[in-house]
Structure 1
């Protein structure tokens, strides 16, 4: 698309409408006559650099968005607004602040010249036509992604940090109660995953993994759609759930954990051993203590703690890999309170509590690191670094010594 005055004017008009401002109101804010703004939007008058900067700030856009050689995408605040509907003012301010942090991080990343190609691969899969197909696809992708990331079968200590290492912005925000997460692929800002801040840590971990599945498979969908109670039965959501289960608590790892616990074996098993003296195979029946092999509530609780998932997810995962029966699953789910009581007594509840809601300022961390690196490499001034600190609410005096030390190195 050629960047004519008409194209730039149309983009400015679209951005103005996205923030629901009239031409008269927008012109008044930046000190223009309404007729001048009309001409700019029609392309019959060239917008000056100063006017473009002012209008972009008013429309919550980066000025570069109006000058790139691609169509203008929807502003992120509008995307979030569609999720909430008529959002309360406080909620809108909080989301707007998170988006401004994201935009500043993108500006610093671009200033540093960091490549945008460090995204995870896109797994080309057809849309699942059944629950079974969705579950199979999700588990297969999780196995492949774990192999690609060289994770083995062990627990993932910090899934949000892992996702961030793949070039995806991660943040927790106060979504509406029926929304657990949102994945966004934006032309200007790249890939971003947002999860519900008020959910317990183990649920947020699952939401991060769930949205990561959308980043791996559904990246080219036209419009971002939140994960909510309204679309929970869609097959692509089922696929993302299956991915999250296998990604966070892989079947191979569960089997290894059960083997270490000496649990989950049948009460009777056959053993065939080659007898070298007789030159023949000899059959032995091995008997186990049936009660010792039974998976109990404390086993599920310890498994949940090991993989930092909820008690329910651990129990359901055991059923998913046929380590327990349906009746056993029902019993174990009824005993969840006893499982949490054990973890609380052992001071292990921090990784498994359904009530814990500590902060997860991943996006803030990403921005601060970018700010320090930009200052160290003389890409931004001390004044600009102070603005970064103020944006994330961290005292400038705390971070400046770190940034200066980096320059001295």
Structure 2
């Protein structure tokens, strides 16, 4: 293969890099074209240098493949391959079997992780490094409910959580040094609900599918906690919705999440406070779900596991949880309004947002670049940074 610098046409060199980036991200030409909203013929012409590519289109392609725009202008041949970290290689290899929307999600994740690495370096912030593993890695085998409940209890004890509800799992993970990302990973049985892997500098990375229902977020995050604590010896764990009841690895994490969010002692205490031994009415499920910060469906499943349902499961079907909660005096939760996209604090690691603001304050990054990294507009970032100050000043002189 000739060195790209030897090619007569710069379009040919750029086209070759476009093709290599697409193949690196495991997209077929048809998948990539569909995701970009262009024809396969147009993408083919870009890759063969027969058609000039606009800057905006090049930026969109870079985002889709999870590479910086500069990637397309770096010489590369068979004897001068760019280095790719083991974690990135593992993710891109696993992405080969995924649907195109999930491939795009993995590529987006990789791009954001590179941005976070750059933020650490730019602000001279020490990297977290590999975390301490408080529990031994578990083999991929079946476990009894008693064993899984005991694992969840051990984890709660380790983090001094007791039996109290954990109402904001994302904030808890941020406080423990996890890097938590919300990424669109598709819908349906073959979509990813989330994933986990260890980054050599950033530590534990947890991802949850932003596309799934809001009510699933706490459960998915708790599911990934199980992988981070008991399956940390794997290069990465990608969790398909379809595998959560068929793979022992996934089944363990699913049941762990249930016991972690609603601990046995905590559930028993709540039932005693409600002066009931078993749950017989949907209204009682709402009270329990709201207390523990889980979905109505998750509460029903958990009650069934502990044999605390005192009526047929049919009694609890066909319920509209939001409407029923309102009738019981509960205020609607933010996620119940279905507002998207999520705020940066809800879809990015806390440290990502913090370091972005530091870089802006120190003049290391422009406002536009920080807004782009956070996935918001320049105006929204300005409002976040200066809006409240302006309002406070006006009130002070009123």
Q: With structure 2 as the length reference, what TM-score do the two structures score?
A: 0.67
Match of 1:261 in 2: 274
CA distance in 1, matches of 2:368, 2:168: 29
**Is 1:344 the equivalent of 2:326?**
yes
Q: Which has the larger radius of gyration?
A: 1
Match of 1:163 in 2: 173
Q: Please report how far the alpha carbon of residue 184 of structure 1 lies from its aligned counterpart in structure 2 after TM superposition.
A: 2.2
SS at match of 2:163: coil
Match of 1:74 in 2: 88
Q: Please report how far the alpha carbon of residue 217 of structure 1 lies from its aligned counterpart in structure 2 after TM superposition.
A: 0.6
Q: Residues 256-301 of structure 1, C-alpha deviation per residue, up to 9 Å, x if partnerless?
A: 111111111xxxxxxxxxxxxxxxxxxxxxxxxxxxx764221111
Instruction: Give 4+ residue runs of structure 1 displaced > 6 Å after superposition.
Output: 23-28, 352-355
SS at match of 2:182: strand
SS at match of 1:84: coil
How do 1:253-402 and structure 2 match up within 5 A? Answer: 253-264=266-277, 295-324=280-309, 328-334=311-317, 336-337=318-319, 340-346=322-328, 348=330, 350-351=332-333, 356=338, 358-360=340-342, 361=344, 362-364=346-348, 366=350, 367-374=352-359, 378=362, 381-384=363-366, 386-392=368-374, 393-395=376-378, 396-398=381-383, 401=386
Q: Is the 8 A contact 2:183 2:207 kept in 1?
A: yes
CA RMSD of superposed structures (Å): 3.9
Instruction: Give unmatched runs, 5+ long, in structure 1.
Output: 1-14, 42-54, 56-64, 265-292, 405-409
CA distance in 1, matches of 2:320, 2:87: 50
SS at match of 2:206: strand
Instruction: Give unmatched runs, 5+ long, in structure 2.
Output: 1-19, 28-46, 50-68, 390-398
CA distance in 1, matches of 2:213, 2:74: 48
Q: Please report how far the alpha carbon of residue 356 of structure 1 lies from its aligned counterpart in structure 2 after TM superposition.
A: 4.1
Q: With structure 1 as the length reference, what TM-score do the two structures score?
A: 0.66
**Is 1:40 the equivalent of 2:22?**
no
Match of 1:116 in 2: 128
Q: How many residues align?
A: 322
Q: Residues 59-78 of structure 1, C-alpha deviation per residue, up to 9 Å, x if partnerless?
A: xxxxxx66xxxx74434772
Over 3 Å counting, the alpha-carbon distance change for 1:299 and 1:96 in structure 2 is same
**Is 1:130 the equivalent of 2:142?**
yes
Match of 1:212 in 2: 225
Q: Please report how far the alpha carbon of residue 123 of structure 1 lies from its aligned counterpart in structure 2 after TM superposition.
A: 1.7
Over 3 Å counting, the alpha-carbon distance change for 1:119 and 1:157 in structure 2 is farther
